[in-house]
Every structure is written in C-alpha cells, then in structure tokens.
C-alpha cells in the first residue's frame, strides 16, 4: 500500500502521536492463537440445543401442526410454536418507526418462503433436536408463489405478504422512493445520444467464518444473559424486548467479538426465540446456524434490477439520467425498505448531472428475505452505473476515464437530492489511477481539482 | 480460440454512516488508579479492528500511548448505547463519541496535574509518552500515573468523560427526494486487467489497481488489510458468488463452500492499493468509513475489462463462464 501524502496536504494536520501510526492490533495474538473467546465458546451445564422445523414450500397455508411425536422423542424438552411467542408478528426497523410489522418469529397460518421457521425444538443434544424436528407433522396447502419482481408487480400476482397488501413497500412518497431534480425529459430532448440499459444481480451470501448464533443463560433472577454475535447489541436487545414482551432490564446482551459480519448479523433472528426457550425451560439454550442455514436461510444481499436511461452530449456531458431500481426483498421487509431508499440517495452516482429522475422500489417475492450486506443499496447500483458509464463513453467515442473526468462531481456542485457537494475527491482518485495503471489522459484532466475557487 | 486481454475502469463514492443519519453512538472513558484508561462502549468488533482503532483514538486525544488504553465492549449492562457496526459507521460514529469522552477526561486529568504542579491547566500539555508537562518548560512535569493516583486518593476527582455522537435524522421530501443522506463520502477509482479464454469463458483477473480516498488512515496497516480484503471481495462478487445461480429460479443454491463459489488464493489478482486522505469535516481526525466502499469498484471494473477483452457485455452478475460463452455464441451468430 502506498499512502500519497502529497494530495490534500494543505487541509490535513499530520505528525500526530498515535493516529496515523501502524500499531499492531491488540487483539491479533488472541485471534491467531485461538484464544479469543467467541459466543459459541460459552458452554453451560444442562444447555439445550434449538433446531428449527422449516417450510419445504415457497408459499403455503398451514392447515395444522402436530408436534406430539416430536415431543415424545428421547431428549426433547420443549417444542415451541407461534402460540408461545408473546409478540409473534414483528419488524426490526419498527425501532426507527419504519413499519408495518410484517414477519412472524414462528409461522402462524402461512409460510411465505422455502425455509421459513415454523416450529422450534429444544432438546438435550443437537442430534435429538434434529431427529425430533423431522417428526413434526405440518399439513400444508400449497399456494401459488411468485419469484420474479416484474411478475410480482403485475396486477393479479399472488400476494406475498398480507401485512403490506401489495407486493411492494409503500413509502410516504408512494410505491417507490423518488428523487426529482431538473427536467429529465427536457434533458433527453436536447441530448445527442440516448442510452437505456438494464442490469441484474442475484442474491449473495455474506459467508462469514462464524455462522449466526447465540447462547442464552438464565441468571436465576428473572434476567437472561444472551451471548451473541450480533452486529448491533441494543438494536437486537430492544427488538427481543418487543417480541418477548419482556422489559429490557431483564435482558443482558454480551458480544462484541464476531467472526465476520458483512451485514449478515443485523437481523434479529436467533436471539428472541433462544431467550424464549431459556425462559420457558429454565435452562441455557444454544441456537447456532449450520452452514446450510447460513447460506440459504439467513438473509442474503438482495437481487437487484437497475434500469438506467441516459442522455449525453457529443462533448461528453451527461445532461439527463433516469434510474429505476428494484430491490428483491424476498418475503419480508427486514432492512430492505431502508436499502432501496439508500439507493435513491446514491444515484446518479458521483457525477454532476443537471436533470435526474430516480425511482427505487422494494419488491416482495416468495424467497428468502434479503437484508443488509456490505455496500447495502449501493454495490449493485455502482456495478450498473459504472458499466453504463463505460458504454456511454464508447457510444460517444471517448476514453472511458476521460469521460468520467468531464462529469465528475466537485466541491459546491448540487447533487440530485439537493445537497451541495463537500469534500469531493473523485478527480484525484482518477488522476492517481491514471498514473498507477499507466492509463494516460489529457493534461487538462490531470490539472483538474475537486476544489473550486471560493468553495 | 484464444486468451484475450482487456482492462476496465470504474470510479465510485460511498456515504459514511447510516443513510439519513439518526444513528447515535455513545462512549464512556475513565482512568484506573494508576493512569490507564478504560473506554466503555457497546460497539461490535467484526474482525475489522474496531477495538484497536478506538484505543488509538482515545490515546491520541488524552495524550498517552495506545497500550495505556483498554477497550471494554460490548456488554449492554455496562456499555452505553451504540446503534451497531454497519453502514461504514463504526470508526466515524464511535470514534467521535470516544474523542468527546476522552477530551472531558483529559480536562479533569490536566486540572489535577495543574493542582499538583501549582500551575494553570491551560499551561499544560501531554508528551504522548505518559507525562504531563508545562508548555515551554518540559522539565516541570508529572507522570500520568502520579496524576491518576492523586486524583483517586488525594484530590477525590474522577478522571472520566462522556461522549455522544449523533447526526440528526433527515427525512426525504416526498415529491423531490430532497434529503441529507450523509455528511461525508469516501472515494475510489479502480483499474482491472483481465484475461478471458474465449473457448471456456473463464476469466483470470491479472491485476487490480485501486486508489481509495478515505479521509484519514488512522492506522495504515489496518487500512491496508481492510482495503485488500475488500478488493478481493469485489472480484468474488464480480465473477463467482450467488446463492441462486439461476435467479429468479430458486433451485441450485449452494449450501456449503464446495457448492458456493468463491475465489481461492490462486484466483486472486495482483492487488495494488494507493490511499489518499482528504479529511472529512466531521470525522474523527478526518476519517471516513471505507469499509464497504472498498469492495465496490472492482465489480464494474472487471465487467468493463471483460468487454474490453472479448467484446461482449455481461450485464448480469455474477459474470460466469456460462454467461460469457452464451454471449460470445450470440455475438458470433450476429
């Protein structure tokens, strides 16, 4: 790695004692010698293991659940269904007033994706829990499912989630989050070139070394300690408090050392049901995802579809950009309404464009609920934007790097969401990339700056 | 049939912190009787090194070596609220909270030292080695060890501080989308060079040259580890990963690391990192959050390089050999 201190030296105070120093990490020796304690290193006498009975169908009505055989299985201590969960219908972003509550801790009457949790089995061993889970009989009436976002948005499509009433999230702005800046149609009308293209991704797994999980121990005083690898301690505690209808003062969460997150551990999935199990049995409970659960049950990065229409001039200026983004939330919201909204704030990318129109949709389908992942709401958008930039440059007949200099945002430029640009550094990154990759650009671009006079 | 070479570029920015703000983080700092400093948080270390960075930020602010600082996180019985570790917010939000708490603790520490040295607190400075001295007269000094002992056992002072950082929440205007998503943005430009085998569709990423602007490299070695790891993840997203290979079809999803494709060590490119620092106005020592941003530009850079190599556009991720071969076949069919 090369640290180029010559850029922006005029606005930076160097020569600090500790900051800027490559100090060895204090936690590294513990990590590399296997001495660091993770949640799963907690082991308590009498600890039970929780395994889920999961839906084999993408969309189905539950006619009946029979747990009698499972309950008789040797080693089984307790079997939980929706009836046991005090506040079974929840949504995690309710803490920041983003509703409606749309998801069940344990399925009640319906399943909306293949893999959805239906019944929880608590047993003396993992094996007993797994074997007993196989003995739970659920009678399903299979319903039509929808997997494709375009199909889901058509009239008459199967309704994925009744708590929303339609297959998209309803923002205060309507069926999508909107950004309107300038007059995009006038921009297209004046453009020398128009390019409309569509981009697509599919779900992606966080693939942490340590799978999602927790260990809960009753403290004997009506309090429960939850050792967890959540990425957000109080967010998880507060949501557990709502789901369990238990005062937050009864909950004690311990964590902070996690074997990889990447956004996959900000849903609140394992903790509430494990605490409930500990409360109802009076015993410690361990609920840890298998690798298969981590890959197919825990939320992935959403699949996205991004449609970009651009108008550009012969001289390389982009004069209009219209972006329509679709985020496949799967069956439940989790963090997806936030992610789609973050996309609306990110487009049209780090470029100054006078006419912008953005619509971002959060769409429900019958698949594993997606949620946060590194680059949430932005990563796939950047793929689409930057491939589009490459295509536009070639369409106009310009060098792709020089084309970006022409449009790059600089200090003081007004963004589509009506914030003036501050602290820009895109131009300097491109100048340095030009040198590092031996990709020469015209001298006038190498002389540019993100600073503007007076800005 | 041939191995064809191409290169592609991408340039991006990325917001620091939770979109639209409203995401508080608190910190508490106190000294032990012998002048070590405890930082109490509820922030989560995901392996990226949050504890180390908070220790360096606290040490710099108080004026002690980093090994005098201990980070206590994340226990909800003791640690004050943190919204969580996500959205590239840990260093920025928790770092600011730690600075505020550490400043308050430093002020008490200087007041106690001033009483011991019989000078004004405003005339004192730290030497960064564990001592407090009179500005311009460094021979007149006292160790922080002795200051802490004095505070505890003689002066009855608590060398401690409270820190809180909150960017007020912004609400998007319904019709126009006017809003304030973030207060600062990191930047990147990446050039990727690939080889594509037009017979098998296989892509080999030869080099990835990344330039990242991150506000301030608080610990350059840790910055390097995060940026290199992110760059590899970008390649992985571009060419390999998905839980639903035939999306929107739900079948064929991988359930373990044999079935779920990720690059192995032999599949990773020669990776170069250059870091620029334009300090952000509200970041701790100017730092921005590069944690997410660093995995993004490689994806379009690789996609553009594949086009440069073989002249077909793969606009669906991941860019698999199957998709490349199908596109080449369609291209040949005209």
Q: Best interface-test mutation with B: which of A199, A386, A389 has the largest number of B CBs within 10 A? A: A386
Q: Best interface-test mutation with B: which of A197, A208, A266, A423 has the largest number of B CBs within 10 A? A: A423
Q: Is A291 in contact with B257 (Cβ distance < 8 A)?
A: yes
For B182, the token pair is: 């973030």
Give the torsion sign (CA, B242, B245, B251, B252): negative
**β-pair type (A117-123, A224-228):** unpaired
Our CA-based measurement puts residue B203 at a distance from the nearest CA of chain A, in whole angstroms, of: 17
CATH number, domain A177-204+300-446: 3.30.365.10
- For residues A375 and B44, give the distance between their C-alpha atoms in angstroms, rounded to a whole number: 18
For A213, the token pair is: 């999980």
**Is CATH 3.30.70.870 the classification given to domain B25-165?**
no
A-B contacts at Cβ under 8 angstroms: 410
Residue ranges in chain B modelled with pLDDT below 50:
none
- For residues A223 and B329, give the distance between their C-alpha atoms in angstroms, rounded to a whole number: 64
Q: Which fold has domain B3-16+182-333?
A: Aldehyde Oxidoreductase; domain 4 (3.30.365)
Chain-centre distance for alpha carbon A156: 29
What DSSP string runs through A197-265?
EEEE---B----SSPSEEEEEE-SSS-EEEEE--S-HHHHHHHHHHHHT--GGGEEEE--B-S--TTTT
Give, as one character, the DSSP assignment of residue A413.
P
What is the residue whose two structure tokens read 């698949």? Answer: A367
- For residues A361 and A177, give the distance between their C-alpha atoms in angstroms, rounded to a whole number: 7
Q: Which of residues 204-263 of B touch A (CB under 8 A)?
A: 209, 211-213, 216-224, 227-228, 230, 233, 237, 241-245, 247-250, 253-257, 260, 262
For A199, the token pair is: 């981009």
- For residues A259 and B46, give the distance between their C-alpha atoms in angstroms, rounded to a whole number: 6
Q: Which of B5, B14, B7 is nearest to B184 (CA)?
A: B14
User: Quick one: pLDDT band at residue A455, thresholds 50, 70, 90?
Assistant: very low
Backbone φ and ψ for A123, nearest 5 degrees, come out as: -145, 170
Among candidates B76, B253, B299 on the partner chain, residue whose Cβ is nearest the Cβ of A237: B76
| Cis bond before residue B318 (omega within 30° of 0) | yes
> pLDDT tens for residues B307-318?
999 999 999 999
Cα A162 to Cα A158, A165, A419, B304: the distances in Å are: 10, 5, 37, 42
> pLDDT tens for residues B124-155?
999 999 999 999 999 999 999 999 999 999 99
Cβ-based contacts of B63 with chain A (< 8 Å):
17
Predicted complex ipTM: 0.97
Report helix, strand or coil for B314.
coil
> B5: how many CB neighbours lie within 10 A of its CB?
15
Alpha carbons within 13 angstroms on the beta-carbon side of residue A446 total: 9
> pLDDT tens for residues A176-232?
999 999 999 999 999 999 999 999 999 999 999 999 999 999 999 999 999 999 999
Our CA-based measurement puts residue B27 at a distance from the nearest CA of chain A, in whole angstroms, of: 14
Domains in chain A: boundaries: 48-142+207-296, 177-204+300-446
Check if the beta carbon of residue B148 is closer than 8 Å to that of residue B139: no
For B153, the token pair is: 């056992």
**β-pair type (A356-364, A318-330):** parallel
Report helix, strand or coil for B5.
strand
Calculate what percentage of chain A has a pLDDT beyond 70: 99
Q: Tell me the mean pLDDT in the region A103-121.
A: 98
Residues of chain B within CATH 3.30.365.10 domain(s) are 3-16+182-333, 25-165
Residue A20 zone, left/alpha/beta (φ > 0; ψ -120 to 50; rest): left
Our CA-based measurement puts residue A24 at a distance from the nearest CA of chain B, in whole angstroms, of: 8
- For residues A89 and A96, give the distance between their C-alpha atoms in angstroms, rounded to a whole number: 17
Using CB atoms within 10 Å of the CB of residue B235, give its burial: 0 to 12 exposed, 13 to 18 middle, 19+ buried. buried
Check if the beta carbon of residue A197 is closer than 8 Å to that of residue A308: yes
Report helix, strand or coil for A304.
strand
> B281: how many CB neighbours lie within 10 A of its CB?
11
Give yes or no for A428 touching B (CB within 8 A): yes
> pLDDT tens for residues A311-329?
999 999 999 999 999 999 9
Using CB atoms within 10 Å of the CB of residue A361, give its burial: 0 to 12 exposed, 13 to 18 middle, 19+ buried. buried
Give yes or no for A430 touching B (CB within 8 A): yes
Q: Which of residues 258-277 of A touch B (CB under 8 A)?
A: 258-263, 266
Cβ-based contacts of B276 with chain A (< 8 Å):
4, 7-8, 425, 428-429, 432
| Cis bond before residue A43 (omega within 30° of 0) | no
Using CB atoms within 10 Å of the CB of residue B15, give its burial: 0 to 12 exposed, 13 to 18 middle, 19+ buried. buried
Backbone φ and ψ for A353, nearest 5 degrees, come out as: -130, 125
Q: Which of A212, A450, A351 is nearest to B13 (CA)?
A: A351
Cα B94 to Cα A115, A278, B83: the distances in Å are: 36, 33, 10
Check if the beta carbon of residue A267 is closer than 8 Å to that of residue A92: yes
Q: Tell me the mean pLDDT in the region A14-30.
A: 94
Give yes or no for A324 touching B (CB within 8 A): no
> A90: how many CB neighbours lie within 10 A of its CB?
19
Nearest CA in chain B to A258: B46
Q: Which of residues 36-55 of A touch B (CB under 8 A)?
A: none
> pLDDT tens for residues A254-300?
999 999 999 999 999 999 999 999 999 999 999 999 999 999 999 99
Using CB atoms within 10 Å of the CB of residue A47, give its burial: 0 to 12 exposed, 13 to 18 middle, 19+ buried. middle
Q: Is A383 in contact with B303 (Cβ distance < 8 A)?
A: yes
- For residues A70 and A133, give the distance between their C-alpha atoms in angstroms, rounded to a whole number: 6
Give yes or no for A242 touching B (CB within 8 A): no
Among candidates B19, B56, B79 on the partner chain, residue whose Cβ is nearest the Cβ of A23: B56
Cβ-based contacts of B8 with chain A (< 8 Å):
390, 400
Question: Which own/partner contact pairs does A8-13 have at CB distance under 8 Å and 24+ positions apart?
Answer: A8/A425, A8/A428, A8/B276, A8/B277, A8/B278, A8/B279, A11/B278, A11/B279, A12/B216, A12/B277, A12/B278, A12/B279, A12/B286
The residues that bridge with A309 in the sheet, in sequence order, are: A196, A322
Q: Tell me the mean pLDDT in the region A149-167.
A: 98
Cβ-based contacts of B216 with chain A (< 8 Å):
12, 19-20
- For residues A359 and A382, give the distance between their C-alpha atoms in angstroms, rounded to a whole number: 16
Q: Is B56 in contact with A21 (Cβ distance < 8 A)?
A: yes
Check if the beta carbon of residue B57 is closer than 8 Å to that of residue A23: no
> pLDDT tens for residues B173-225?
999 999 999 999 999 999 999 999 999 999 999 999 999 999 999 999 999 99
Cβ-based contacts of A254 with chain B (< 8 Å):
74-76
Q: Is A303 in contact with B296 (Cβ distance < 8 A)?
A: no
Check if the beta carbon of residue A340 is closer than 8 Å to that of residue A358: no
For A14, the token pair is: 């160097």
- For residues A385 and A391, give the distance between their C-alpha atoms in angstroms, rounded to a whole number: 10
- For residues B329 and A61, give the distance between their C-alpha atoms in angstroms, rounded to a whole number: 44
Cβ-based contacts of B16 with chain A (< 8 Å):
none
Report helix, strand or coil for B125.
strand
CATH homologous superfamily, domain A48-142+207-296: Aldehyde oxidase/xanthine dehydrogenase, a/b hammerhead (3.90.1170.50)
Among candidates B272, B285, B295 on the partner chain, residue whose Cβ is nearest the Cβ of A19: B285
Alpha carbons within 13 angstroms on the beta-carbon side of residue B22 total: 15
């Amino acid at each position: 790695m090369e640290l180029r201190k010559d850029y922006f030296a005029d606005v930076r105070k160097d020569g600090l004692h500790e900051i800027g120093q490559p100090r060895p990490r204090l936690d590294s020796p513990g990590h590399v010698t296997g001495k660091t304690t993770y949640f799963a290193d907690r082991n308590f006498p009498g600890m039970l293991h929780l395994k889920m009975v999961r839906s084999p169908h993408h969309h189905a009505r539950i006619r009946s659940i029979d747990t009698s055989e499972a309950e008789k299985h040797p080693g089984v201590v307790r079997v939980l269904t929706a009836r046991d969960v005090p506040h079974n219908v929840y949504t995690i972003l309710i803490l920041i007033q983003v509703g409606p509550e749309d998801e069940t801790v344990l399925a009640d009457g319906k399943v909306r994706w293949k893999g959805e949790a239906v019944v929880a089995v608590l047993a003396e061993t993992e094996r007993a829990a797994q074997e007993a889970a196989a003995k739970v009989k659920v009678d399903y009436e299979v319903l039509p499912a929808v997997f494709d976002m375009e199909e889901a948005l058509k009239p008459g499509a199967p309704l994925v989630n009744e708590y929303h009433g339609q297959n998209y999230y309803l923002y205060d702005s309507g069926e999508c989050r909107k950004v309107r800046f300038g007059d995009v149609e006038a921009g297209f009308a004046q453009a020398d070139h128009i390019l409309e293209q569509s981009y697509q991704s599919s779900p992606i797994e966080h693939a942490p070394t340590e799978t999602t999980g927790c260990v809960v121990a009753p403290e004997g005083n009506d309090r429960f300690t939850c050792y967890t690898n959540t990425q957000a301690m109080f967010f998880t505690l507060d949501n557990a408090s709502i789901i369990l209808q238990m005062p937050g003062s009864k909950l004690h969460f311990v964590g902070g050392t996690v074997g990889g997150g990447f956004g996959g551990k900000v849903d609140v999935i394992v903790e509430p049901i494990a605490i409930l199990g500990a409360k109802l049995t009076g015993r410690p409970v361990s609920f840890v995802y298998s690798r298969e659960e981590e890959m197919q049950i825990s939320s992935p990065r959403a699949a996205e579809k991004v449609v970009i229409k651009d108008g550009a001039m012969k001289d390389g200026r982009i004069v209009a950009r219209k972006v329509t983004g679709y985020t496949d939330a799967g069956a439940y919201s989790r963090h997806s309404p936030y992610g789609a909204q973050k996309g609306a704030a990110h487009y049209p990318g780090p470029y100054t464009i006078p006419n912008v129109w953005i619509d971002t949709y959060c769409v429900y389908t019958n698949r594993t609920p997606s949620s946060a992942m590194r680059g949430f709401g932005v990563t796939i958008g950047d793929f689409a934007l930057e491939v589009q930039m490459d295509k536009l440059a070639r369409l106009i007949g310009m060098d792709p790097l020089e084309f970006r200099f022409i449009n790059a945002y600089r200090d003081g430029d007004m963004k589509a969401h009506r914030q003036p640009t501050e602290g820009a550094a895109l131009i300097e990154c491109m100048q340095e990339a030009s040198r590092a990759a031996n990709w020469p650009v015209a001298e006038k671009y190498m002389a540019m700056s993100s600073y503007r006079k007076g800005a | 049939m041939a191995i064809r070479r191409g290169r592609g570029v991408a340039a991006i920015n990325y917001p620091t912190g939770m979109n639209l703000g409203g995401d508080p983080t608190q910190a508490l700092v106190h000294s032990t009787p012998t002048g070590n400093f405890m930082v109490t948080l509820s922030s989560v270390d995901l392996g990226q090194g949050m504890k180390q960075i908070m220790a360096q930020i606290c040490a710099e602010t108080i004026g002690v070596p980093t090994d005098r600082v201990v980070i206590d996180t994340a226990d909800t019985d003791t640690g004050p609220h943190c919204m969580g570790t996500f959205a590239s917010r840990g260093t920025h939000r928790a770092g600011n909270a730690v600075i505020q708490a550490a400043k308050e603790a430093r002020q008490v520490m200087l007041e106690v030292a001033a009483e011991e040295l019989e000078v004004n607190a405003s005339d004192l400075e730290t030497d960064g080695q564990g001592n407090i001295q009179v500005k311009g007269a460094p021979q007149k000094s006292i160790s922080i060890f002795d200051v802490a002992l004095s505070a505890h056992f003689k002066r009855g002072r608590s060398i401690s501080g409270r820190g809180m950082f909150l960017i007020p929440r912004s609400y998007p205007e319904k019709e126009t989308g006017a809003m304030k998503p973030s207060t600062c943005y990191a930047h990147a430009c990446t050039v990727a060079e690939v080889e594509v085998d037009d017979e098998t569709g296989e892509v080999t990423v030869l080099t990835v040259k990344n330039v990242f602007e991150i506000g301030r490299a608080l610990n350059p070695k840790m910055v390097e580890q995060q940026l290199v790891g992110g760059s590899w993840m970008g390649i992985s997203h571009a060419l390999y990963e998905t839980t639903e290979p035939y999306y929107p079809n739900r079948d064929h999803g991988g359930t373990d690391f044999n079935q779920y494709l990720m690059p192995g060590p032999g599949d990773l490119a020669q990776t170069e990192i250059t870091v620029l620092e334009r300090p952000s106005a509200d970041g701790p020592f100017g730092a921005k959050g590069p944690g997410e941003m660093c995995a993004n530009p490689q994806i379009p850079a690789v996609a553009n390089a594949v086009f440069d190599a073989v002249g077909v556009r793969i606009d669906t991720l991941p860019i698999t050999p199957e998709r490349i071969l199908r596109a080449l076949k369609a291209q040949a069919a005209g």
